[in-house]
Amino acid sequence: MNRWISKWQPMLAALALTGCGLKGVQSTVDADGPVAEIQYQTFLVTLFVSLAIFAVVGGLFLYCLVKFRAPGGEVPPDYPLPDQGHGNPLLEIGVIFVSILLVGIVAVPTVYGVLYGGTLPPGEKPVVIKVTGYQWWWKFEYPELGVVTANECTIPVGRPVQFKVQTDDVLHSFWIPRLGGKMDLTPGQDDWLWLQADKPGNYWGQCTEFCGESHAFMRMRVIATDSASFDQWILDQRKDVTEKPPAILSKGQCAACHAIRGTYAQGVIGPDLTHIGSRTTLAAGIHENSEENIRQWLDHPNEWKPGNHMYRDGYQLLNIKLEDAEERELAKYLTSLK
């Protein structure tokens, strides 16, 4: 036994450290909002019912294995068949009733959870955020507050947020595991879900519907702050850029796809960059936001995010080549857009 344990120890330790850890940044069992909590409770009920069924069926199986084992481990040629019958009606009816009962135990929290997640809570009016999925990034718009941003949205703690989801191209799926979800973004269809964060934090999200070669790099962040910081964030995000952009912005054809409000850049194909410097991550949550990382992203976006449109339909198609100094100038400018 000891030898067996020492042989498998590294693997068991790795399992305990990774897959079995319950406190991940995208852990559904580390619920931080009412919707996530209901979904977690439903999971627990289902898990315990399943475990109970497993224990009873597995226990009976083991009991039969031991109890009805052939004497001496081998079946003698003249070993009699057990009594043959058509079964036990009482037992069968009992099993049917127990099955119905177990389905009922699982169904009650499930239906309650579906209704709970599909009904906006009474009381305070939710913040409305329109989410649009693109290959491979997220647009977040606050139609009632006049804010447009990308890949990261800020929400107030303790207040419901209604995410209205839609897609610009293919199927995506919106999921912030510790706040709840998920909801598919279906072409030609408007759907919504509401979520709420119970404490401040940086909640990681991920597209969970395969949507092309960079599906795995389509991440997002929901940043929950207190209501004063949220109001301030909204005010900051609404501001236009006053500084004149560098000439490289036009050589790079950036304005054809990106908007920097307050400048001539008014593109709507790629993420709005008006306040890109204020975001914590780059390229839909795949790298930390820093001047050097922006430069690297401008230099080889296809290595970070294969197939992305900036590279494929921009750099390649328009034959754009930025010099090292130009990349640095552009990265410096973008970082300054707080």
**Residue numbers of the site for ligand CUA (CB under 6 A)?**
133, 136, 172, 207, 209-211, 215, 218
Pairing relation of β-strands 152-156 and 219-225?
parallel
**Nearer to ligand CUA by C-beta: 127 or 220?**
220
How many alpha carbons fall within 13 Å on the CB side of residue 223? 17
Query: What does the DSSP assignment read for 261-299?
Result: TTSS-B--SS---TTGGG-SEETTTTEE--HHHHHHHHH
Least spacing, CB of residue 143 vs ligand CUA, in Å: 22
Rg (CA), the chain: 28
Least spacing, CB of residue 285 vs ligand CUA, in Å: 12
- H or E stretch covering 232: helix 227-238
- Residue 118 in tokens: 């599909």
Least spacing, CB of residue 24 vs ligand CUA, in Å: 19
Range 180-216 burial, b when 16+ CB lie within 10 A, else e: bbbbbbbeeeeebbbbbbbeebebbbbbbbebbebbe
Least spacing, CB of residue 192 vs ligand CUA, in Å: 18
Least spacing, CB of residue 208 vs ligand CUA, in Å: 7
Least spacing, CB of residue 212 vs ligand CUA, in Å: 7
**Nearer to ligand CUA by C-beta: 215 or 258?**
215
**Nearer to ligand CUA by C-beta: 184 or 313?**
184
Distance (Å, whole) CA 232 – CA 240: 15
Least spacing, CB of residue 216 vs ligand CUA, in Å: 8
Least spacing, CB of residue 271 vs ligand CUA, in Å: 14
Sheet bearing 219-225, strands edge to edge: 152-156, 219-225, 201-206
**Nearer to ligand CUA by C-beta: 37 or 169?**
169
**Nearer to ligand CUA by C-beta: 207 or 273?**
207
Helix (H/G/I), strand (E/B), else coil: 197: coil
Distance (Å, whole) CA 5 – CA 247: 65
Distance (Å, whole) CA 171 – CA 210: 8
Least spacing, CB of residue 200 vs ligand CUA, in Å: 27
Q: How far is CA 285 from CA 111, 216, 289, in A?
A: 34, 11, 9
Nearest to 318 by CA among 276, 269, 284: 269
**Nearer to ligand CUA by C-beta: 174 or 230?**
174
Q: Are 207 and 131 in contact (CB under 8 A)?
A: no
Angle at 66 between CA 65 and CA 70, to 5 degrees: 85
**Nearer to ligand CUA by C-beta: 126 or 181?**
181
**Nearer to ligand CUA by C-beta: 207 or 294?**
207
